[in-house]
Amino acid sequence: MRMARRIENLPPYLFVEISKKIAEKRAKGEDIVSFAIGDPDIPTPPHIIARLCQAAQDPTNHRYPETAGLPELRQAIAGWYERRFGVSLDADKEVLPLIGSKEGIGHIALCFIDPGDTALVPDPAYPVYSVSTTLAGGRPYYMPLVEENGFLPDLDAIPAHILKKAKLLWINYPNNPTSAIADLNFFNRVVEFAQQHDLAVCHDGPYSEVTFDGYRPVSFMQADGAKEIGVEFHSLSKSYNMTGWRIGMVVGNAEMIDALKRVKSNLDSGIPQAIQYAAIEALTGSQDCIQEHNAVYQRRRDLIIDVLNNIGLEAKPPKASLYIWAKVPEGYTSVDLATDLLEEIGVVVTPGVGYGKNGEGYVRLSLTIPNAALVKGLSRLSGWHSTRSKHKATK
Ligand SMILES: Cc1ncc(COP(=O)(O)O)c(C=O)c1O
């Protein structure tokens, strides 16, 4: 058997490796506390589940769905964008439901990237932007996200010869893994830059509803001319704790949406309709759950930040997203620190370098950890620090 080179060169997905390690340790009876994956521990709100169960009983929902999704779902998405961001969308041409946003993020590269083409990808970043580029035969050009620049890419630093080959520009705010935020000025600048260099922009914004201290992110679609050059991926996963149901969406430029629909109609058969009805309920029903979830995450954020800063893992409280991006203490790489914490105290954090070269020097901690585990994990981290300090003092 001879596999394609694209498979041979495909790195294992970061979290598959981490989950494997955790499962091995747990199988040996070790008590592991994981701050690794951004997967909400709070259940999907009951009104959404009730609608899902009801729709599952209806035989019309047992058959193949349409790739384009139910018209009512596309309208619910357009309605949500109008209410939340004041952005008007044509529900038939500018909205496409996805089997989770990861699916659309993966497939859109096939619409733009031919072998040899370049996609501009942030570093560090959610790994799918670069992997999908590579799977399509293209090359990612990494735009460093550094603290001095608020973890925004420096568009003017991209060399001219790269811009000639580049067709896609990826951005993501509120950001994973750095939890950085962007404002409308930045998005307007991105549109201007994309127009100048004939780039299609993909903004990935699944964390726009996971916010703290009253912060309200803007949508890329609010930028002047955004719809002419780009799309925004979004998801119900993080806003409504629906990661397991697999439902997201992409909105914006009609030509880009149509190209993605063509690819998808040849590869998948849409989203199970009962899940689509659950999504309609989520988007059009009471939004109180969002505030409630955010209050829980904000309390956890404050507890984690406090401990991290006390133990020498400097971190700023994020305004949005499910993550804390903490600096590793001197003398450690991000992998060293993650390995020591796992081996010595059974605590899992994600090494920043897993998100790209510029993630080195940081670890990511997720806020989606149940309260009891969080308290246990933080107490282990504090204990680890005092043991280390004592050890250093006696050396
Ligand atoms: C930045 C970013 N984009 C997209 C996704 C995918 O979300 P989903 O496929 O659940 O919609 C994630 C998930 O963690 C993410 O962090």
Q: DSSP secondary structure string, 202-255?
A: EEE-TTTT-B-TT--PPPGGGSTTHHHHEEEEEESTTTTT-GGG--EEEEE-HH
Closest CA to 35 of 261, 313, 249: 313
Q: What's the whole-model pTM score?
A: 0.96
pLDDT tens by residue, the chain, 395 residues: 888 888 887 877 777 777 888 889 999 999 999 999 899 999 999 999 999 999 999 999 999 999 999 999 999 999 999 999 999 999 999 999 999 999 999 999 999 999 999 999 999 999 999 999 999 999 999 999 999 999 999 999 999 999 999 999 999 999 999 999 999 999 999 999 999 999 999 999 999 999 999 999 999 999 999 999 999 999 999 999 999 999 999 999 999 999 999 999 999 999 999 999 999 999 999 999 999 999 999 999 999 999 999 999 999 999 999 999 999 999 999 999 999 999 999 999 999 999 999 999 999 999 999 999 999 999 999 999 888 877 776 65
The best mutation among 204, 250, 325 to test binding of ligand 1, ranked by most ligand atoms within 8 Å of the C-beta, falls on 204
Q: How far is CA 371 from CA 125, 214, 240, 345, in A?
A: 27, 22, 19, 18
Atom of ligand 1 nearest to the CA of 234: 11
Predicted pLDDT at 393: 65
Q: What is the pLDDT of residue 340?
A: 92
Report whether residue 100 contacts ligand 1, using a CB cutoff of 6 Å.
yes
Q: Is any ligand 1 atom within 6 A of the Cβ of residue 273?
A: no
pLDDT in tens, 245-284: 999 999 999 999 999 999 999 999 999 999 999 999 999 9
- Residue 385: predicted pLDDT: 87
Q: pLDDT value at position 367?
A: 98
- Nearest CA among 202, 190, 181, 195 for reference residue 252: 202
pLDDT tens per residue across span 288-300: 999 999 999 999 9
